[in-house]
Structure 1
Amino acid sequence: MAFDSTPMDQAAYPLLSINIGKLRQNLETLSASVKGSGCSLMIVTKSFCADPEITEMLLSHSAVDYLADSRIKNIKTYAGSGKKTVLLRLPQKCEIPDVIRCTDVSMNSEIETLGLLNDEAARQGKIHQALLMIDLGDLREGLFYKEEEKILRTVDEISRMKHLELLGLGTNLTCYGAIIPKMDNLSILVSWADRIHEHFGIKPAIVSGGNSSSYYLIEKGEIPQGINNLRLGESFVLGTETAYGSRIENTYSDGVKLEAQIIEVQTKPSLPEGESGKDAFGKCPVFKDLGLIKRAILAVGKQDVDTENMFPEDLSIAILGASSDHLILDISASEKHYQVGDVVAFTLKYSALLRAFSSGYVQRRYIEGIPKSPVNF
Structure 2
Amino acid sequence: MQNPRIVVDLVKIKENIDFLSKRIKKNNDISVTAITKSFSAHPEIISVYDACEEIDYLGDSRVENFINNQETSKEKVLVRIPMISEIPEVVKYTDISFNTEIEVIKKLDEEAARQGKQHRILLMVDLGDLREGIFEEEELFSIVEEIMTLENIELVGLGVNLTCYGAVIPTEAILNQLVKYKMQIEACFDVALTMISGGNSSSVYMLEPDTKENLPNGITNLRIGEAFVLGRETAYGKDYQEMHQDVFTLKTEIVEYKTKPSYPIGEVGVDAFGNKPTFVDKGLMKRGIVGIGRQDVDHTAITPLDSRLEIIGASSDHLIIDFTKAKDDYQVGDEVSFSLDYGSLLSCFTSEYVKKEFI
Is the shorter-chain TM-score for this pair beyond 0.5, marking a shared fold?
yes
Correspondence 1:23-102 to 2 at 5 A: 23-36=13-26, 37-102=28-93
The offset of 1:249, in angstroms, is 2.8
For 2:127 and 2:107, the matched residues in 1 are separated by: 26
What's the counterpart of residue 285 of structure 2? 293
For 2:234 and 2:93, the matched residues in 1 are separated by: 29
The offset of 1:248, in angstroms, is 2.1
8 Å Cα contact 1:194-1:203 kept in structure 2: no
Correspondence 1:245-256 to 2 at 5 A: 245-256=237-248
* Counterpart selection for 1:328 from 320, 323, 326: 320
Question: Larger deviation: 30-39 or 291-300?
Answer: 30-39
The offset of 1:335, in angstroms, is 6.9
What's the counterpart of residue 18 of structure 1? 8
- Name the SS of the counterpart of 2:125 in structure 1: strand
8 Å Cα contact 1:79-1:85 kept in structure 2: no
For 1:38 and 1:218, the matched residues in 2 are separated by: 12
Name which structure has the greater RCO, CA cutoff 8 Å, separation 6+.
Answer: 1
The offset of 1:223, in angstroms, is 0.7
8 Å Cα contact 1:79-1:103 kept in structure 2: no
* Counterpart selection for 2:199 from 184, 198, 210: 210
For 1:337 and 1:114, the matched residues in 2 are separated by: 60
**Which amino acid counterpart does residue 292 of structure 2 have in structure 1?**
V
For 1:157 and 1:195, the matched residues in 2 are separated by: 16
* Counterpart selection for 1:338 from 321, 325, 330: 330
The offset of 1:79, in angstroms, is 2.9
For 1:180 and 1:84, the matched residues in 2 are separated by: 28
For 2:196 and 2:252, the matched residues in 1 are separated by: 43
8 Å Cα contact 2:129-2:168 kept in structure 1: yes
The number of aligned residues is 355
The offset of 1:203, in angstroms, is 2.0
Gaps of 5+ in 2: none
Question: Larger deviation: 35-44 or 130-139?
Answer: 35-44
Correspondence 1:98-137 to 2 at 5 A: 98-137=89-128
What's the counterpart of residue 232 of structure 2? 240
The offset of 1:336, in angstroms, is 5.5
The offset of 1:330, in angstroms, is 0.7
What's the counterpart of residue 6 of structure 1? none
What's the counterpart of residue 262 of structure 1? 254
Which stretches of structure 1, 4 residues or more, deviate above 3 A after TM superposition?
Answer: none
- Name the SS of the counterpart of 2:188 in structure 1: helix
| TM-score of the two chains, using structure 1 as the length reference | 0.92
**Which amino acid counterpart does residue 112 of structure 2 have in structure 1?**
A
The offset of 1:53, in angstroms, is 0.4
What's the counterpart of residue 143 of structure 1? 134
| TM-score of the two chains, using structure 2 as the length reference | 0.97
- Name the SS of the counterpart of 1:137 in structure 2: coil
Instruction: String of CA shifts for 1:195-224, please: whole Å, max 9, x gaps.
Output: 111111212101000111111111237111
8 Å Cα contact 1:235-1:242 kept in structure 2: yes
Percent identity between matched residues is 47
1:280 aligns with 2:272: yes
For 1:125 and 1:139, the matched residues in 2 are separated by: 35
Instruction: String of CA shifts for 1:148-207, please: whole Å, max 9, x gaps.
Output: 221111111112211110110001011111111111111100100011111112121010
8 Å Cα contact 2:18-2:52 kept in structure 1: no
- Name the SS of the counterpart of 1:334 in structure 2: helix
For 1:99 and 1:65, the matched residues in 2 are separated by: 19
8 Å Cα contact 1:259-1:345 kept in structure 2: yes
The offset of 1:246, in angstroms, is 1.3
Instruction: String of CA shifts for 1:18-69, please: whole Å, max 9, x gaps.
Output: 1111111110111011112321100011111011100111111111100011
For 2:137 and 2:329, the matched residues in 1 are separated by: 66
